Amino acid sequence: MPGGRFLSGSFAAGDGHRDYRLYVPASLGKDAAPPLLLMLHGCTQTPEDFAAGTQMNMHAEEHGLLVAYPSQPRTANAQRCWNWFNPADQRRDAGEPALLAGIAQQVVAEYGVDPRRVYVAGLSAGGAAAAVMGQAYPELFAAVGVHSGLACGSARDLPSALAAMRAGSPVAAPGGRVVPTIVFHTDRDATVNPVNGDQVIAQSGGPARLRRSVERGAVPGGHAWTRMRHEDAQGRVVLEQSVVHGAGHAWSGGSPAGSYTDPLGPDASWEMLRFFRGV
C-alpha cells in the first residue's frame, strides 16, 4: 500500500525460528499504541500471497493496524502447512505455538502495541493453528479468527487430520474464559468439512451460556450467508459464525491477486476486523 512498509523479520527461540513479514501502515500514529493482528497462511501459501489475497494490508491502513504474517518453511512442512495436527504443536511454550507467540510478543515490544488488542486469524491449516493459539495463549490473544479451519486438538497425527478434515472430530471444551472467536466457513468446502466450523465454536464452551441470534443476507451479485451471534448478558457478541452459501475452500471476499480466494464475498477480512474491534 502507498506509504506503508512491508518489512521482513525473524524470531528465534529454543524451538527453532520463523521468518515473518510485518505490515506497518503509514496511518500509524506516532504516539498511539496500535493493535496487532497475526495472520497465519494456509498450505502452499506464503505471507506475500496471503497478504495479497486477504487484502489485510489495505484494511490495516484504514484502521491503523499492524499485521504480522509468519512464514511456514518447507523444512517444517513440505506443503508449508502449519502442523496443527501434531500434539507437540498444540500446546503452549513448545513447538510452533511458542514460535508464533514469540513473533507476536516481539512485535508488541518493538512497536509499542496495545497488549489488550492482539489478535490472531488464519485460513485452513492457518485457521486451525489460530484456534490452537487461542487455546494455548488466551492471555495473549484478545480474539481469534478461524476461516475454514478446525478446532484445537481435533487431530493427533496426519491420518487423524485427514479424517477430521473429511468429517470433523468433536473435542471437549477446556472450560475457563471464553476467548472471543469469529468463524468463517463455506457450505461447499470440499477440503475442510464445514462441520469443523461448528466444532470451533463449540470448543469455546460459550454457546451453552450465551444468547444466540441468527441473521441472513446476501452480497449483491455474490454469495448468500447466514450469521450466528452469541451474546453475553451485557449484549456483547462473544462468538460469531458465518456460513457462506455456495462457496468452496477459499477466503471469502478475497482478491484474485492471491490464492484460495473468492471475491464474491462477504468480505471476511472486513468482518473479522469489525468483530475484533468490538471485543
pLDDT in tens, 183-199: 999 999 999 999 999 99
What is the per-residue DSSP string for 185-204?
EETT-SSS-THHHHHHHHHT
pLDDT at 171: 85
pLDDT in tens, 62-108: 999 999 999 999 999 999 999 999 999 999 999 999 999 999 999 99
Does pLDDT of 216 surpass 90?
yes
pLDDT at 270: 97
pLDDT at 209: 80
Beta partners for residue 23, in sequence order: 6, 67
Query: Which of 196, 93, 83 shows the shortest CA–CA distance to 137?
Result: 93
Q: How far apart are CA 201 and CA 207, in angstroms?
A: 7
Q: How far apart are CA 145 and CA 184, in angstroms?
A: 8
Does pLDDT of 174 surpass 80?
no
Report the percent of the chain where pLDDT is more than 70: 97
pLDDT at 175: 67
- Binned at pLDDT 50, 70 and 90, residue 30 comes out as low
**Phi, psi (degrees; rounded to nearest 5) at 191:** -100, -45
The secondary structure of residue 207, as a DSSP letter, is G
Q: How far apart are CA 14 and CA 26, in angstroms?
A: 34
Q: How far apart are CA 227 and CA 216, in angstroms?
A: 6
> Region 235-259: what's the mean pLDDT?
96
pLDDT in tens, 230-239: 999 888 999 9
What is the per-residue DSSP string for 99-156?
HHHHHHHHHHHHHT--TTSEEEEEETHHHHHHHHHHHH-TTT-SEEEEES---TTS-S
pLDDT at 206: 74
54, 254 contact by CB (below 8 A): yes
> Region 200-213: what's the mean pLDDT?
86
Does pLDDT of 279 surpass 90?
no
Higher pLDDT, 75 or 210: 75
User: What is the CATH code for 5-278?
Assistant: 3.40.50.1820
Boundaries of every domain in the chain: 5-278
Q: Is 75 exposed, middle or buried (0-12, 13-18, 19+ CB in 10 A)?
A: exposed
